[in-house]
Amino acid sequence: MFDREYLKKEMEKLDGLVTERLDFYLIGGGSMSFQNLKDATKDIDVVVRSEHDLKLLRDALVRMGYSVPAVRGPYKQMQASLIMENWDGFRWDIFVIVICGGLRLSDAMLFRAVELFRLDRVLVHMISLEDIFIFKSVT
Partner 1 sequence: MYQLFLQGLDFTVIRDEIIWQNEQDRNVAWLAFFFNGVEEVVERYSVVIPFYEEFHDLAYSDMVSQMILDRLGKGDADVEELVRELGVEDMEVHLDKLVEKELAINNGGGTYSLNSGGLLS
- Give contact residues for partner 1 (rule: CB under 8 A): 32, 37-38, 100-104, 106, 108-109, 112, 128-134, 136-139
**Rounded to the nearest whole angstrom, what is the least distance from the CB of residue 106 to partner 1 in the complex?**
6
Report the residue number, 64 or 78, with the smaller CB distance to partner 1: 78
Cα 43 from Cα 86, distance rounded (Å):
11
Report the residue number, 19 or 137, with the smaller CB distance to partner 1: 137
Contact 71, 51 (CB under 8 A): no
**Rounded to the nearest whole angstrom, what is the least distance from the CB of residue 85 to partner 1 in the complex?**
24
**Rounded to the nearest whole angstrom, what is the least distance from the CB of residue 69 to partner 1 in the complex?**
23
SS3 content of the chain, % helix, strand, coil (to 5): 35, 30, 35
Report the residue number, 86 or 128, with the smaller CB distance to partner 1: 128
State the amino acid at position 116 in one-letter form.
L
Q: CA end-to-end span of the chain, whole Å?
A: 18
